[in-house]
């Protein structure tokens, strides 16, 4: 079960929900925007997996990222870099190196649709030998009109 939409970690009763789901045999993943501290959930008996966005410079939101979260991630977790341009790729590579993310968690690169081509990201990943990183595309934007809602 993936909990997403808005910021799930801001919901007051999020942990009781996670605990209930996991007690009933479900794997729980939280998609978080990267600004909220994960520490409170990291040491709970029922710890979800995290997919944590890291907003890069072109987003104008990098200053809101909670880099303290990186030390709490494990092999079940993912850091997703939302990439808008070449400078974002360079910054993502810096973050990966500074926080030694290769091998400690999964790494995804996700293009901002219409701002950078997936091919440019793949070439960057190849050049940097980011063999454990993955490209994540918002497939609905490739299948349907990118502005179409409800798909």
Place of tokens 């990222």: 65
**The pLDDT value given to residue 107:** 98
What length does the chain have?
151
- Rounded distance between C-alpha atoms, residue 121 and residue 115, angstroms: 11
- Rounded distance between C-alpha atoms, residue 8 and residue 5, angstroms: 7
Handedness of CA 84, 125, 93, 102 (dihedral sign): positive
Query: Could you list the pLDDT tens digit for every one of the 151 residues in the chain?
Result: 999 988 999 998 999 999 999 999 999 999 999 999 999 898 889 999 999 999 999 999 999 999 999 999 999 999 999 999 999 999 999 999 999 999 999 999 999 999 999 999 999 999 999 989 999 999 888 899 888 888 8
- Superfamily grouping for domain 2-143: pyruvate-formate lyase- activating enzyme (3.80.30.10)
**The pLDDT value given to residue 43:** 85
Cβ atoms < 10 Å from Cβ of 34? 24
**The pLDDT value given to residue 147:** 86
**The pLDDT value given to residue 6:** 82
Q: How many helices (H) and strands (E) does the chain have?
A: 5, 6
Place of tokens 């909990």: 3
**The pLDDT value given to residue 97:** 96
- Rounded distance between C-alpha atoms, residue 57 and residue 34, angstroms: 14
| Cα–Cα distance list, 98 to 46, 88, 93 (Å) | 29, 15, 9
């Amino acid at each position: 079960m993936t909990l997403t939409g808005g910021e799930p970690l801001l919901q007051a009763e999020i942990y009781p929900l996670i605990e209930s789901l996991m007690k009933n045999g479900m794997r729980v993943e939280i998609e978080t925007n990267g600004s909220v501290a994960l520490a409170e959930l990291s040491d709970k008996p029922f710890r979800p997996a995290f997919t944590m966005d890291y907003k890069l410079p072109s987003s104008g939101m990098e200053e809101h990222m909670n880099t303290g979260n990186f030390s709490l991630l494990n092999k079940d977790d993912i850091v997703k870099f939302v990439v808008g341009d070449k400078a974002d790729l360079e910054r993502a590579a810096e973050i990966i190196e500074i926080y030694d993310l290769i091998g400690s968690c999964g790494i995804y690169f996700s293009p901002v649709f219409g701002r950078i081509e997936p091919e440019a990201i793949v070439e960057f990943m190849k050049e940097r030998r980011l063999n454990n990183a993955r490209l994540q595309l918002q497939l609905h934007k490739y299948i349907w009109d990118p502005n179409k809602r409800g798909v």
